[in-house]
Every structure is written in structure tokens, then in C-alpha cells.
Amino acid sequence: MSESSQDQQGVDYSALSPRYSPSSVSPYWISDQSNEQEYYYDSKRRRKTENPDRISALPDSLILQILSFLRMKEVIRTGILSKRWHLLWTSAHTLVFRYSGQSNHGVTQFVTFIDDTLLQCQPSKLNKFSVDFHYNTRFVRHVNKWMVFVKNKSVEVLDLYLRTRGLDQLYSLPQVMYSNACLRELSLCNCNLVPKEEINWPLLRVLDIRYAKLKRDVVRKICSGCPVLESLKFSMCRGVGDFDIDSKSVKKLVISGYWEKEREDSDDDDDDGDDDAELVIYAWNITSLEIRGCFHKKILTLRNVQSLVDAKLDFYRKTDDYVGDESDYDTDGNMLKDLLVSLQHVEKLSIGTWCLQVLTLLELRNSSCPRMRCKYLTLNTHMTKWELPGISILLQSCPQVEILNIITDPYFPEYHFGLSFKHSNNFSGENYWISRPCWVLHLKTLRIEGIWIDENYYFEHIFSFLQVVLKNAMVLVKIIIDGFEDGTYNSLMHYRRVTEKLLSFPRSSRDAVILFSG
């Protein structure tokens, strides 16, 4: 068997086809799902003195429940474990197909394997159908057949993850799928929605769309055709000038990045054609909003967000081509100020590192930050010196905060301040907090989590922050420090270092305790 006919886990899909009889070949390869390793098993060498097979004694319904957690290649392989199981997999109510190989020949066999498996599927109704593989337009006929199968089998959860290499390879969901009374969860990747009529998904509660070109009309049809939709996520989509979510049922909205237009798509009529344009998010009845990822040059704006309770801003715009033009920095600062003004009323607020660095611009230019009413605040930051002024101005604008979470593992790039700005605003971050105004009057819980204890560069910045908290927080109840690995020599040394440092700080609250968590 050649390597080209296998995926990275050594699976020959032609041998796994349902037309293949497991009882006719020995030895067999069995995959352990927990660590994806291969184990050798020879049924002809089993000893007669073996203990009774308790698994085979289980009822079919329980065995099928166990099989629902496996990928189809593992499910079919279970036929070698017991004669009674030989065709039991054909009654499985969950079909999960994953291809991790790279060769085109292997993908073709994988697609054929799915076709053959679906022909053997017996249940009239399926709970879940999931496919993940390297898609090419030459497979469109096969995927269309799978979608007919999904419709006929009344699938409730559909996950179609098609990995492609260009916009010209995107798959268009067939018209048969736009009216489906069984779907409850739908996840699509590299799939365009092009309904000719209205969408009718009356039971759909969760919708996740990744890497797609959308139109305003499609977003409208989603909102009107999904009366019980609760969670809506758009990841790296493009072609929409605004996200107008006027659904009465949708409570959670996630906008994760914006798909930047490629040069070869500059004449694409389906695109909005302007990566510098404003991207407006209307969230009429949304209670939880998350904006994250890269938006390139898009200017984000919020409208009709009165229902919001929980908001997260953990995104960034591309600033690496800024050349010192004040208008570039003003655009970022004004955009973020406007976003915070729209979120003044939220109870829970989360801010990422890029936004904190934009707030640094406002602080060092003596600009104001809108007053926030949030009581639960989360900062995703390493607390480097170029983030400290931004954190300071935000904390002063959130005087009612009772619970503060600091997560020290941000992954977005540093804001492009420019050399002239850094030279004119150079300062040391180690003792920054000592001279800051008190902002912790209502703080009860502080939690710091991440790898900051192992990073000497961030250690002193965070400890000067902790010193100020302990000194000024009069109603503080607890500080939770998360990130220790119990039992290792390094963790014990870090634990000792942190403990000695914290014990040396004066504290205003007698009730305050410091807890360490692994």
C-alpha cells in the first residue's frame, strides 16, 4: 500500500470501505481515539483462556452511544472486536468524517469512503453529520449528494468544514438545504450561502459561518428565517458592509475578523470593494457581543446595542504601514472611544491588548475615556509599559468594578506607535502604578492567570500593580493567582518568590486573602 493512498494516520480508506469484510483479513489496525496512536491486533492469536468479553455483552443502544464519540474510520474498525458488531456501525446515529492527509489521491479515496458509508447507513434519522477535508470543486457533486443525504436523514447537527486554497474553490450550499425543519446546529466553513428564496430553519439555535462571502440580503434572510436562533457567529466573512442583526431571538453574536480582499479579487462584483470602509454592527436584541480577530482597515461602529449586558473587544486593525500620520492614530483612538461610549451601560466588559494600547494613545495625549458602569472587567494583557497608561485610563473610567480578571496570554501584535512617539513618551513601567490615582474603591476580587510568573519581563510590572491593589483596596476579599504547576521544582521556587513578595506589601483590607491555583 503506497503512502499516497493513506492519510497521516496510516489509514487506507479503500480498505475501510463498507464493502470490505473485516473477518477476511488479519492482522488489523485499531486506532485509539485518546491519543491517535495505532495498535496491532491479530484476532487469530487470541487465547481461549481470555476473560469474558464484557463489552460485547452491552446492549446495542449503549454500544451505539459509545460509537457516537468516534470518527467513522474507528467506528467501522470496531467490527473486528465482535461478530455481533460486524454491521452494528451501520445503525450509528452520529457520522463524523475527518481527513488529515495531504495527498490528492488520499482525498479521492476519502470521498469515496464517505459515499460508500452513506449507502450502508440504516437509521431513518441522524443526530449529527460532520465532515472535515481538503475540498476541491471537483468534489462538488459528491458534497451535494451528502447534503441530500443530510436532508433525507433529518440530521440535527451539521458541521461542514471544507478546507480550500482560494476564493474560487468555495462551495455553495445547494438550494435543498435552505428549507430544513430538523437542523438545530449548523457550522459551515468555506461555504457560501446563496438562497434563491427565503431561508426556513425553524429549529436552528446555533449558526457558525466561517470564511464566506456574504450579502446583506443573506444576513436578513438568516434573521427572518430562524425564529429560535440564539447564537450567531461570523468568522472571517466579507462582502457585507454591515451586520444588521434584527432577530428577536439571537442573544449571542460573535464577529471574528474580516476577510481581507485579495489582489486578484479586486474586480469581484460580489464584494463591497472597500476594505477602508466603516463596518457597522447593529445588535438590536443581543445581550452578549464579542468582536475579535483582525479587521485590517475596517472602522468598527456599534448601533442599537441597548440590550447588551456582556461585551468583548479583543480585535486589532493593521497598523504596520502607519508612517507617522496623525490621522491614522486619530482614527484608531476615535473609533475605540466611540465603541466604549456605545458600551457604557454593559455590566461585563472585556478588553484586549491592542485596544489597551490604543487607549495608551489617549492617555498620553491627555484625552478622555468615557465613564463605564461595568462591574466585571477582564483585561487580556501582558501589562507591558506600552499598555499600562491604557489600563490606567480604563480603570479610572470603571470606578464600579468589583471583579477584575487579568489574563496574561494575549496573542495579537503590538500597536505600531512609531519611533517618534516612543521617544517623546518614553517612561519606565516598573513603578508606574505608584503615582496613579486610586481606582479600586469597590474591588472585591482580583484574578490573574497565565504564564506571567515565568516571564521575568512582566513580573515586576504586575507586582507593582498588586502592591497598589493591596494598599488601596479597602473592601478586597481575595486575590487569586493562577498559573502554577504544582510539584515541579520551578513552580516551588516561583511560589516562594511570589509569596515573599506579596507578604511584604501593606494591605488595607484585613479580610483579603491570597489564593494560589494551578
Q: Where are the domains of the chain?
A: 309-518
- How high is the pLDDT of residue 34? 33
Fold observed for domain 309-518: 3.80.10
In this structure, are residues 30 and 39 in contact, taking their beta carbons and an 8 Å threshold? yes
Contacts of 112 (CB under 8 A, 6+ apart): 13, 14, 17
Nearest Cα neighbor of 279 from 246, 321, 237, 248 is: 237
What per-residue confidence (pLDDT) applies to 166?
Answer: 73
Helix, strand, coil shares of the chain as percentages rounded to 5? 35, 25, 45
| Predicted local confidence at residue 116, as pLDDT | 86
Residues forming beta bridges with residue 208, ordered by sequence position: 187, 233
Q: How are beta strands 310-316 and 288-294 bridged, if at all?
A: parallel
Max CA pair span of the chain: 83
Cell output for 233: 457567529
Helix, strand, or coil (residue 258): strand
Q: Are the C-beta atoms of residues 408 and 383 closer than 8 Å to each other?
A: yes
Contact between 471 and 446 under an 8 Å Cβ cutoff? The reply is no
Nearest to 74 by CA among 16, 26, 160, 132: 16
Say if CB 394 and CB 359 are below 8 A apart.
yes
What is the pLDDT, as a whole number, of residue 374?
96
What's the pLDDT score for residue 105?
72
Residue 41 has a pLDDT of 29
Backbone angles phi, psi at 95, to 5 degrees: -115, 115
Report pTM.
0.81
User: b/e map of 257-293 (b: 16 or more CB within 10 Å)?
Assistant: bbbebeeebeeeeebbeebeeebbbbbbbbbbbbbbb
Mean pLDDT by 10 residues, the chain (518 residues): 40 45 30 31 39 58 59 58 57 82 79 88 88 93 97 96 85 97 97 96 98 93 97 94 94 93 50 68 97 92 97 89 70 94 98 93 86 96 86 94 89 69 66 79 92 59 86 93 62 75 89 84
Q: Which strand (E) or helix (H) includes residue 448?
A: strand 445-450
Instruction: Give the separation between CA 459 and CA 494, rounded to whole angstroms.
Output: 11
In 222-296, at which residue ranges do the beta strands (DSSP E only) sit? 231-237, 242-245, 252-258, 278-283, 288-294
Nearest to residue 188, comparing CAs of 214, 215, 165? Answer: 214
Predicted pLDDT at 37: 29
Residue type, 385: K
